[in-house]
Amino acid sequence: MPKVDPLAIRQGDRLALSRALTLVENNAPESRELQSALFPFTGTAHLIGVTGAPGTGKSTLVNQLAKHFRLAEDSKPAPKVAIIAVDPTSPFTGGALLGDRIRMGDLSGDKGIFIRSMASRGALGGLAHNTAAFVTVLDSAGFDLIIIETVGAGQAEVDIASLAHTVIVVEAPGLGDDIQAIKAGILEIADILVVNKADRPGADNTARALRVMLEMAQGKNGLRSAKGKHAFNSKQASGSSTQPAAEAWLPPMHTITATEGKGIDALVADIQRHADYLHSSNLWQQKEATRLRRDLEALIRDTLVHKWRMELDQQQFESVLSDLLQRKYSPIEALETLM
């Protein structure tokens, strides 16, 4: 694999960018140096997460969003858009079928758009381990908007909440009763809720059930529900007490038909409004701080585990394991023996 020049990436060389993503995805040794070289040039892109159950129309929506973002506004140049589309890796074969591009044919031929499919490679939170590192590379390459489409996520795959600035949760009619909406998890991470497939029967019911959920959450503890997740690092939030408490963001709900592009204009406007809100309330900075803290902690954890594995006495490990199997030890006692 040839060495990739960080400058080429920043100057918009698409082949260099693509090769860099491969190095990062494969944890290649040279990717560490590369990421360090690129990191100073990041921090400006707006990260938009799109998540929801399989078959709700996430890819079709991402296609529409990217198309709309690329329509130049007045005299401003159209923003450059990158898309990271994550699909699951088979736990049995390690292979993956990455099919999100099928819905993104409209975007072909536009040099202001870069789409990369990513297999989850065993990660369980709806993203891959290296999705955050992909964001670093794409951000440094000058993409203004980075749309991250998660694995078709059900209820607990909420990693996207700590990565993206703006999380869009996509629902569709006919996927479950209203109890599904009451369960904890994915709805709580939404900055914007979308009911797609509005042309299908039952869309009104789905929208109504979600609206009730939203109103309950907002009525009960308006500040916490809307603002809580942005400021869940409470120490940090209280530490910056010179900042006036931000006006709470109440997640809006949009009913759309992504295949026909219906309702996309208003959705795009709300995404922009959310970015403005994050900037004006200083939550953008707080989110960045939380994200970088998590990234650093994950890096430390991975490095310690790796180091421990390297130093491990494999023979001792196997013998402890065998004792464990015969119930001579408990797992906790085994841990004390080994560490």
Partner 1 sequence: MADKKIRVLIAKPGLDGHDRGAKVIARALRDAGMEVIYTGLRQTPEMIAEAALQEDVDVVGLSILSGAHNALVPAVIDKLHQSGMQDVKVFVGGIIPETDIPNLLALGVYAVYGPGTDTQTVAADIFQALHPSDN
Structure tokens at 159: 């990693």
Is residue 176 part of the contact set for partner 1 (CB under 8 A)? no
- Judged by beta carbon, residue 128 or residue 160, the one nearer partner 1 is 128
Is residue 330 part of the contact set for partner 1 (CB under 8 A)? no
Give the residue among 253, 263, 233, 249 at the shortest CA–CA distance from 65. 263
Is residue 305 part of the contact set for partner 1 (CB under 8 A)? no
Q: Supply the DSSP string of 6-63, one letter for each residue.
A: HHHHHTT-HHHHHHHHHHHHTT-HHHHHHHHHHGGG-S-SEEEEEEESTTS-HHHHHH
Residue choice 101, 262, 273, 294 for contact with partner 1 (CB under 8 A):
101
Is residue 201 part of the contact set for partner 1 (CB under 8 A)? no
- Alpha-carbon distance of 64 to 50, in angstroms, equals 12
Q: Supply the DSSP string of 272-320, one letter for each residue.
A: HHHHHHHHHTTHHHHHHHHHHHHHHHHHHHHHHHHHHHHH--HHHHHHH
Is residue 114 part of the contact set for partner 1 (CB under 8 A)? yes
Is residue 26 part of the contact set for partner 1 (CB under 8 A)? yes
Is residue 122 part of the contact set for partner 1 (CB under 8 A)? no
Give the residue among 143, 115, 142 at the shortest CA–CA distance from 59. 115
Structure tokens at 132: 């955050």
Is residue 27 part of the contact set for partner 1 (CB under 8 A)? yes
Is residue 301 part of the contact set for partner 1 (CB under 8 A)? no
Element (H, E) at 145: strand 145-149
For residue 101, give the 3-state DSSP assignment.
helix
Q: How far is the CB of 67 from partner 1 (least distance, A)?
A: 16
Is residue 28 part of the contact set for partner 1 (CB under 8 A)? yes
Q: Which of residues 60-99 bind partner 1 (CB under 8 A)?
A: 89-90, 93-99
Of 25-33, 195-203, 222-230, 251-259, the segment contacting partner 1 by CB under 8 A is: 25-33
Q: How far is the CB of 133 from partner 1 (least distance, A)?
A: 12
Please count the CA atoms within 13 angstroms of the CA of 232 that sit on its side-chain side: 12
- Judged by beta carbon, residue 4 or residue 167, the one nearer partner 1 is 4
Q: How far is the CB of 107 from partner 1 (least distance, A)?
A: 10
Q: Which residues bind partner 1 (CB under 8 A)?
A: 1, 14-15, 18-19, 21-22, 25-28, 89-90, 93-99, 101-102, 105, 108-109, 114-117, 119, 121
